[in-house]
Structure 1
Amino acid sequence: MLNVRRLLLLAEVAERGSLTAAAEALSMTTSAASQQMSLLEREVGQPLIERLPRGVRATAAGAALAERGRAVRRELQAAEADLEAFRHVDRGVVTLGSFPTASASLLPPALTRFRRSHPQVRTVVRAGVLAQLQEMLHTGEVELSLLWDYDWNRVDDDQLILTPLLEDPTVLVVPASSPLIDSAEVPLSDLADQEWIIRAENHPVADVLRRACRQAGFEPRIAYASHDYQEAQAMVAAGLGLALAPRLALTNRRSDVRLLPLAHDKASGAAPPVRRILLAAPARRAGTPAAQAMARVLHTVARTFTDPGLGRAQLGAVRGR
């Protein structure tokens, strides 16, 4: 049987490209790390790393085995997190992952409700992008996480239990003075001659805009790349262009913009983009009582965001009619 500590060392060496850096990460001397690597190579009967003029590089066999070592490391981290969670179950700790638009909309009322019902439980929230949140679930850094996806990039992870919480429609953001606000719905194909505000740095909403416009038969002309939704709203209000955004991202709407629903595209038959807000939990670990209570609260709060009457009231309010 392979030595687990040596597998973990190999994973560090492959990631860092240096025996010295790997040894420091594992609180070992470089000499001890080198000896352990030699023992592991003897165990498997083939070279696992190549010595370079500067640092080292994993062989093909070493890279494959290092990937196994990373999986072992992940499981060990998750086991430690499990023990830590149950060690503190008497006083109650729940760790939750989230992303910015959920943290600005769905999460605050959920946290308020949870703390009111469970004042003895400490809540810790970790923020991240989609890949980071999934990794935090795998390693046990968080017990639950809010995730999102669209129909063209569904979260596909058999290590997670995914429960849809609500659907978050994409809306059109226009200046308050726009003649479009008199429309019940706006077909995207009618906006081919418009300038657009897009999210910068390959943000997922930038992909949504480009996909939706291409389905409607045109390539969007980009006037500005914003770094957050408040900045995007400001540029829309200034008349620089229009924007698309998930409705939950606009809970803090400026008074000088309006949000309009998108119509189905008649030519392609495509529906307006809608993202799913998901609650994710590790498939192979039982949730602590605190995590189970938080999950129930999140489901309850999500229902308030999907209530048909509330939705109509919100649309009326945001359209300013």
Structure 2
Amino acid sequence: MLNSGRLRLLSLLETLGTVRAVAEATHLSASTVSQQLAVLETETRCRLLERAGRRVRLTPAGLLLARRGREILDQMAEAEAELHALNDEPIGAVRLGVFQSAIWTLAVPAATRLATTHPRLHLELIELEPHESGPALRSGEADIIVTTTDYVGLSWGADLEIIPLGADPIVLVLPRGHPLASRTTVNLAACEDETWACDRPQSYMADLTVRLCREAGFEPRVACRFSNYLMLLRHVESGRSIALLPALAVTPDHAVVTRELGTPVHRNVTIVVRRGTTQRAAVNAVVAALRDHPEIQGLSAPTRHPGPGQHSPVS
């Protein structure tokens, strides 16, 4: 009989790539993970792993079981929810991964409403930027993510259900009194001599900032890199930098001004869930709460997803 815990370890190995990474994700020792995978091989009477230098990799049988195992785990979670909620009451824990700028504008208001409408549903919020949320969803560390499918570093396959929320414009953020603040729109070429505040390297917004500046003909001179948008906005407030940020990230309580770009750019904000979990009452309730609230009225209508390496203008 298959063990759900060992199935999860095998699925994580397929996603994360190494036994050490699986051990860190599950707070187990690497030797414990290896032992449990060996037990799974005995249970299935199949060779699931093979050595590749110092690492192990999945055999064809291991790949098959890892992918089927993820489906089995989702079905088990769905069955448990159904058994606990025969009256269709959303119940249990749902892990929602959200990029930073949507936490207070989208996720927290949805969680507040759910606490009133579905008190037996426990919503756990996890900050996950676009380059982190896709892998977390596939590995089962998140049940739902709010992300952008414009991030070119990820593929969105048939195993995922994508639910559009809207288009969030990328804006230029300036200190109050900055000379460029007198313009209605700003072409990035005018920012060649400016100093920039950026997100972490290889994150969605850091990559986008570099790409747009290079398209405008210059390399941005970066003064600071903060994963926390509050710190980044405070740096801009001080007059020591400018930044590119999603409009959702800039709230009225910051002493900055925002200007549209001469060539408009946006990101498509979406909800993504694994196929097979969409029928769980708790997951459905969270998706409905994210879609049906006034906070998304600031987003424009979703647009067609651009091709790799492209960005679409705001409608």
TM over 0.5: yes
Of 272, 278, 288, the residue aligned with 1:280 is 272
Q: TM-score, normalised by structure 2?
A: 0.73
SS in 2 for 1:36: helix
CA contact 2:131–2:204 (8 Å) conserved in 1: no
Structure 1 letter corresponding to 2:19: R
Distance 1:91-1:229 versus aligned 2 partners, 3 A rule? closer
Work out whether 1:98 is the aligned partner of 2:127: no
| Aligned residue pair count | 283
CA contact 1:212–1:273 (8 Å) conserved in 2: no
Give the aligned CA root-mean-square deviation in angstroms: 3.9
CA contact 1:94–1:143 (8 Å) conserved in 2: no
Structure 1 letter corresponding to 2:188: L
Matches within 5 A, 1:6-85: 11=10, 15-16=18-19, 24-25=32-33, 33=39, 36=42, 40=46, 49=50, 57-58=55-56, 63-85=59-81
Matches within 5 A, 1:191-202: 191-202=191-202
Q: TM-score, normalised by structure 1?
A: 0.72
Q: Give me the whole-angstrom Cα distance separating, in 1, the residues matched to 2:158 and 2:203.
A: 25
Q: Give me the whole-angstrom Cα distance separating, in 1, the residues matched to 2:9 and 2:143.
A: 28
Q: Give me the whole-angstrom Cα distance separating, in 2, the residues matched to 1:9 and 1:245.
A: 37
Partner residue, 1:305: 298
Q: For residues 151-202 of structure 1, what are the alpha-carbon distances to aligned partners after superposition, in whole Å with 9 as ceiling and x for unaligned?
A: 7557522111101101111111111121222211111111112121122232
Work out whether 1:227 is the aligned partner of 2:230: no
Q: Give me the whole-angstrom Cα distance separating, in 1, the residues matched to 2:43 and 2:55.
A: 13
Q: Give me the whole-angstrom Cα distance separating, in 2, the residues matched to 1:277 and 1:128.
A: 14
CA contact 2:131–2:203 (8 Å) conserved in 1: no
The percentage of counterpart residues that share the same residue type is 24
Structure 2 letter corresponding to 1:283: R
SS in 1 for 2:168: strand
What is the CA-CA distance between 1:132 and the residue it aligns to? 4.9
Distance 1:8-1:254 versus aligned 2 partners, 3 A rule? closer
What is the CA-CA distance between 1:209 and the residue it aligns to? 0.6
Q: Give me the whole-angstrom Cα distance separating, in 2, the residues matched to 1:236 and 1:117.
A: 39
What is the CA-CA distance between 1:34 and the residue it aligns to? 11
* Unpaired runs of at least 5, structure 2: 21-28, 302-315
Matches within 5 A, 1:288-303: 288-301=280-293, 303=296
Distance 1:36-1:166 versus aligned 2 partners, 3 A rule? same
SS in 1 for 2:173: strand
Q: Give me the whole-angstrom Cα distance separating, in 1, the residues matched to 2:266 and 2:211.
A: 12
Q: Give me the whole-angstrom Cα distance separating, in 1, the residues matched to 2:55 and 2:154.
A: 35
Q: Give me the whole-angstrom Cα distance separating, in 1, the residues matched to 2:41 and 2:93.
A: 41
CA contact 1:104–1:251 (8 Å) conserved in 2: no
Q: Give me the whole-angstrom Cα distance separating, in 2, the residues matched to 1:116 and 1:35.
A: 46
Q: Give me the whole-angstrom Cα distance separating, in 2, the residues matched to 1:57 and 1:263.
A: 49
Distance 1:8-1:165 versus aligned 2 partners, 3 A rule? closer
CA contact 1:9–1:26 (8 Å) conserved in 2: no
SS in 1 for 2:232: helix
Q: Give me the whole-angstrom Cα distance separating, in 2, the residues matched to 1:35 and 1:94.
A: 31
Partner residue, 1:316: none
Q: Give me the whole-angstrom Cα distance separating, in 1, the residues matched to 2:151 and 2:107.
A: 23
Partner residue, 1:162: 162
Partner residue, 2:173: 173
Matches within 5 A, 1:242-281: 242-251=242-251, 253-255=253-255, 257-264=256-263, 272-281=264-273
Q: Give me the whole-angstrom Cα distance separating, in 1, the residues matched to 2:216 and 2:297.
A: 32
What is the CA-CA distance between 1:130 and the residue it aligns to? 3.7
CA contact 1:172–1:261 (8 Å) conserved in 2: yes
Structure 1 letter corresponding to 2:42: Q
